[in-house]
Amino acid sequence: MRRPKGKYAWSVTVGAKGQIVIPKEAREIFGIAPGDTLLLLGDRTKGIAIPPKSTFTQLGALVFGADETEEEEE
Protein backbone atom coordinates (compact mmCIF):
# COMPACT_ATOMS: atom_id res chain seq x y z
CA MET A 1 0.00 0.00 0.00
CA ARG A 2 1.34 3.44 -0.91
CA ARG A 3 1.20 6.27 1.60
CA PRO A 4 1.95 9.98 1.43
CA LYS A 5 5.56 10.86 2.24
CA GLY A 6 6.08 11.44 5.96
CA LYS A 7 2.72 9.93 6.93
CA TYR A 8 2.53 6.75 9.02
CA ALA A 9 -0.09 4.53 10.62
CA TRP A 10 0.40 1.70 13.10
CA SER A 11 -1.95 -0.61 14.93
CA VAL A 12 -1.44 -1.25 18.67
CA THR A 13 -3.31 -3.33 21.23
CA VAL A 14 -4.37 -1.95 24.61
CA GLY A 15 -3.32 -4.30 27.43
CA ALA A 16 -5.25 -5.19 30.59
CA LYS A 17 -3.64 -2.25 32.45
CA GLY A 18 -4.57 0.22 29.68
CA GLN A 19 -1.02 0.30 28.32
CA ILE A 20 0.07 0.33 24.70
CA VAL A 21 3.44 -0.45 23.15
CA ILE A 22 4.69 2.15 20.70
CA PRO A 23 6.00 0.25 17.67
CA LYS A 24 9.79 0.18 17.26
CA GLU A 25 9.64 1.92 13.88
CA ALA A 26 7.60 4.76 15.40
CA ARG A 27 10.02 5.10 18.34
CA GLU A 28 12.95 5.28 15.94
CA ILE A 29 11.31 7.78 13.57
CA PHE A 30 10.24 10.10 16.40
CA GLY A 31 13.24 9.60 18.67
CA ILE A 32 11.28 8.14 21.58
CA ALA A 33 13.48 6.46 24.18
CA PRO A 34 12.83 4.63 27.46
CA GLY A 35 12.10 7.12 30.22
CA ASP A 36 10.82 9.83 27.86
CA THR A 37 7.68 11.67 28.85
CA LEU A 38 5.06 12.05 26.14
CA LEU A 39 2.23 14.55 25.89
CA LEU A 40 -1.12 12.87 25.23
CA LEU A 41 -3.88 15.13 23.91
CA GLY A 42 -7.51 14.11 23.56
CA ASP A 43 -10.65 15.42 21.95
CA ARG A 44 -13.94 13.54 22.35
CA THR A 45 -14.80 13.93 18.66
CA LYS A 46 -11.35 13.93 17.03
CA GLY A 47 -9.63 11.28 19.16
CA ILE A 48 -6.20 11.02 20.79
CA ALA A 49 -2.95 12.53 19.55
CA ILE A 50 0.63 12.12 20.74
CA PRO A 51 2.49 15.14 19.35
CA PRO A 52 6.29 15.27 18.88
CA LYS A 53 8.59 16.11 21.79
CA SER A 54 9.20 19.61 20.44
CA THR A 55 5.60 20.37 21.39
CA PHE A 56 6.67 20.58 25.07
CA THR A 57 9.06 23.43 24.27
CA GLN A 58 6.57 25.20 22.03
CA LEU A 59 3.78 24.82 24.59
CA GLY A 60 6.01 26.09 27.38
CA ALA A 61 6.97 29.11 25.31
CA LEU A 62 3.31 29.89 24.63
CA VAL A 63 2.27 29.49 28.26
CA PHE A 64 5.24 31.19 29.93
CA GLY A 65 6.45 33.49 27.15
CA ALA A 66 9.75 32.97 25.40
CA ASP A 67 10.91 36.60 25.73
CA GLU A 68 11.59 36.76 29.45
CA THR A 69 13.48 34.35 31.69
CA GLU A 70 13.64 34.24 35.46
CA GLU A 71 16.29 32.87 37.80
CA GLU A 72 15.09 30.05 40.05
CA GLU A 73 14.93 30.88 43.74
CA GLU A 74 17.19 28.79 45.96
| Tens of pLDDT, residues 1-44 | 687 898 999 999 999 999 999 999 999 999 999 999 888 889 99
**Phi, psi angles (nearest 5°) of residue 5:** -55, 135
Give residue 74's pLDDT: 57
The answer to whether residue 24 sits within a structural domain is no
The answer to whether residue 52 sits within a structural domain is yes
The answer to whether residue 50 sits within a structural domain is yes
What's the number of domains the chain is made of? Answer: 1
The answer to whether residue 2 sits within a structural domain is no
Mean pLDDT of the chain: 85
Domain that holds residue 50: 35-66
Look at the alpha carbons of 12, 16, 18, 20 in this order and tell me if their dihedral is positive or negative. negative
Which tens digits make up the pLDDT trace of 41-63? 899 999 999 888 777 778 778 88
